[in-house]
Each structure stands twice: as C-alpha cells, then as structure tokens.
C-alpha cells in the first residue's frame, strides 16, 4: 500500500502559502451564508478584500464590520463602480447571477460567479461572451474542482492508474427547509434540488468525462412545483456512464466513486468538500489513501486560481473553462426539459 498523505497544501507557483500575493482587490456582492464563507476564506488567507455590496445598506455595514472591510455599499451598482475593486465575487441567489455578473463585467471587473453559473445556457453564453470580449475572467465558483483531493483524482485518472474509466457515481442529498416560501422551494427563485444540489454531481461527471452524448432523467416534485429529487444517467460516446442523484428533503450519504477497469476511487463523505479518498486496485485491495488538511472551508483555492489567471493574462483554464460552464448549463437545461421543470428566466 502506498500513502500519498501530504502535509500542507498545494499552493500556486511562486506564491507563498497564506498570502494572495497578487495585489488584486476583491469585492463581495451579496451578504448571505455563502458570501460569509467565501469572505472568511479570503480574509484568512491574505486576500485583499476591500468592499461589500448589498441591496440593504445596514446589511452591508454589518457584513463589512464582521470582516473588517473598508467599504460597505448599499447597492450592487455602487460596488461594481468602486474604483478600488478589481474582482467581484457574485454570491446572490442564482436567478440573479446573470444580471449581477453582467453588471460587474460592464464595469470592467473580473468575476467569480457562484454555481450554478447562471439559470440556463443562454445566460451562461452571454456572461462568458461579454467577459471574453473585454478580456476579463469569468470563473464559475465550483470550489470542489480546486480542492487537493480532486487535483489528485484527476492526476490518477490521467496517469491511467484506474485503467479505462467506465463509471462515475455521485449523489448530493440534503434535508433542507420545507417552508414553501424558502428559496429552495420557490420556483421564482430557481428552487429545486437540481440547480442547488445536483450541480455538484453534474459538474463532477463533466470533470471526469466531459459533456455527455445522451442524458436520461426522472424526478418527483414538491407542492410548489420544483424538483424534490432528480435521478440522472449521463451516457458517453465510448460507453461510459455517470449515475447521479440529488434530493432536497432527505439527508443522504453524499458519496462519490470513480470506477475503472484497473481500479476504483471511493471519495469520503461529504465528497465535494475538503477530504480524502481511498484507491483500490482491480482486486479490491487498498493501494492508496489520500488525506490532506485544508484550512478554512477550502474556498480559497478557486480564488487563488482566479488570481493566477489574471496574473498570467489568461481568461480560461483547463480545470473549468468558461466553455465548460456553458456546457454544464446545457446539460442542466436538458435535464430540466426531461423532467418538465421550467423557470421564467428560460424566456429571453
């Protein structure tokens, strides 16, 4: 048995651990739960976080005081126009990602946009198209892709350690609030399991196999008309399959596995958060155990990647390029068409 357990964390080339080192100045758009998690990881790891914007001035001031930020803006427009901000992290509910990303991009800011990147593919294309036309970075905040255990899994797949990879299995099930007025149950706010939770297993399937050739899906709905749970099978040209599931009213194992002809990987729950995995050979013997400590929630890795892109003059990477964020939204659109889930934002 080999052991790849490592101390520390894989940092960016030329940048010392614990420091952003780029000089880019961040603004936080939104003050909700996820905004607080991202701001905490940014501040803890030495990023220059200078401003927050909220539609409620008092909320902005409270958030700024919590993280010791110099500027609190009482509107998203004021944040986008702040000359001391270079990058805007978009953390508003996903029905507003499109308009908020365009607002920041039109103000000349790079954007890190929470997942799902948009409500549908046409919105994603407009965001990425505007960013490309202005030479700006528009990176989807799918933080899981940048975590150390996912970096190692991609290395193993690329090396052929699993043989021919045939199957991805992943689920994301949570017991979320049942209140019909809660965001996750409200169709006007993009509610449902698929966009909120299913985005994780869907993005993981893309990470391993790319875009599917065929999609099958089935769902059951809540009383408000959004998907309560959704099961998906993605099929690929050479016969590979991704078996994916999400649900918003039942807590689940939240496990994921990658299975190949030469072995398999079982990722520890909760698989999309910082953690480890066990690799087995084709006889079921343990050949690798990966564990790595991550400080904070691990959302700093995606921010480091955005800063690396800006520093090197690039607008896309190989881990999650804008074109793939569009493809992910195309797949989610296809699933929604199969299960009959529509939103008002589907109409241009």
What confidence score (pLDDT) does residue 15 get? Answer: 34
The residues with which 260 forms a beta bridge, in sequence order, are 165, 263
Predicted structure pTM score: 0.93
Pairwise CA distance, residues 339 & 332, whole Å: 11
CATH 3.30.360.10 is right for the domain spanning 148-293: yes
The residues carrying an active-site annotation are 115
Topology of the domain covering 2-142? Rossmann fold (3.40.50)
| Fold equal for 2-142 and 148-293 | no
Kindly list the domain boundaries of the chain, sorted by start residue: 2-142, 148-293
pLDDT tens-place values along the chain, 348 residues long: 333 333 333 343 333 333 455 689 999 999 999 999 999 999 999 999 999 999 999 999 999 999 999 999 999 999 999 999 999 999 999 999 999 999 999 999 999 999 999 999 999 999 999 999 999 999 999 999 999 999 999 999 999 999 999 999 999 999 999 999 999 999 999 999 999 999 999 999 999 999 999 999 999 999 999 999 999 999 999 999 999 999 999 999 999 999 999 999 999 999 999 999 999 999 999 999 999 999 999 999 999 999 999 999 999 999 999 999 999 999 999 999 999 999 999 987
What confidence score (pLDDT) does residue 21 get? Answer: 58
Pairwise CA distance, residues 111 & 38, whole Å: 14
What confidence score (pLDDT) does residue 347 get? Answer: 84
């Amino acid at each position: 048995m080999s052991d790849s357990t490592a101390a520390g964390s894989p940092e960016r080339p030329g940048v010392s651990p614990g420091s952003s080192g780029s000089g880019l100045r961040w603004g936080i758009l939104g003050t909700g739960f996820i905004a607080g998690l991202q701001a905490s990881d940014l501040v803890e790891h030495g990023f220059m976080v200078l401003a927050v914007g909220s539609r409620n001035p008092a909320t902005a001031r409270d958030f700024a005081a919590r993280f010791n930020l110099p500027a609190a803006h009482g509107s998203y427009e004021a944040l986008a126009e702040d000359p001391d901000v270079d990058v805007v992290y978009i953390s508003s509910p996903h029905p507003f990602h499109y308009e908020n990303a365009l607002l920041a991009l039109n103000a000349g800011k790079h954007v890190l946009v929470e997942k799902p990147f948009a409500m549908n593919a046409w919105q994603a294309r407009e965001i990425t198209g505007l960013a490309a036309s202005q030479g700006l970075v528009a990176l989807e905040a799918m933080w899981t892709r940048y975590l150390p255990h996912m970096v190692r899994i991609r290395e193993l797949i690329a090396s052929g350690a699993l043989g021919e990879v045939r199957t991805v299995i992943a689920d994301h099930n949570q017991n979320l609030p049942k209140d019909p007025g809660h965001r996750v149950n409200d169709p006007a706010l993009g509610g449902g399991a698929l966009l909120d939770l299913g985005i994780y297993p869907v993005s993981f399937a893309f990470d391993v196999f790319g875009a599917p050739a065929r999609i099958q899906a089935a769902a059951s709905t809540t009383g408000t008309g959004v998907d309560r749970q959704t099961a998906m099978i993605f099929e690929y040209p050479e016969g590979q399959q991704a078996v994916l599931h999400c649900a918003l009213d039942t807590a689940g194992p939240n496990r994921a596995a990658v299975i190949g002809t030469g072995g398999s990987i079982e990722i520890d729950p909760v698989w999309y958060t910082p953690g480890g995995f066990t690799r087995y050979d084709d006889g079921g013997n343990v050949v690798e155990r990966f564990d790595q400590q991550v400080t904070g929630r691990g959302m700093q890795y995606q921010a480091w990647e955005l800063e690396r892109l800006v520093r090197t003059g690039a607008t896309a990477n190989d881990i999650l390029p804008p074109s793939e964020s569009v493809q992910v939204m195309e797949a989610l659109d296809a699933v929604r068409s199969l299960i009959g889930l529509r939103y008002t934002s589907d109409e241009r």
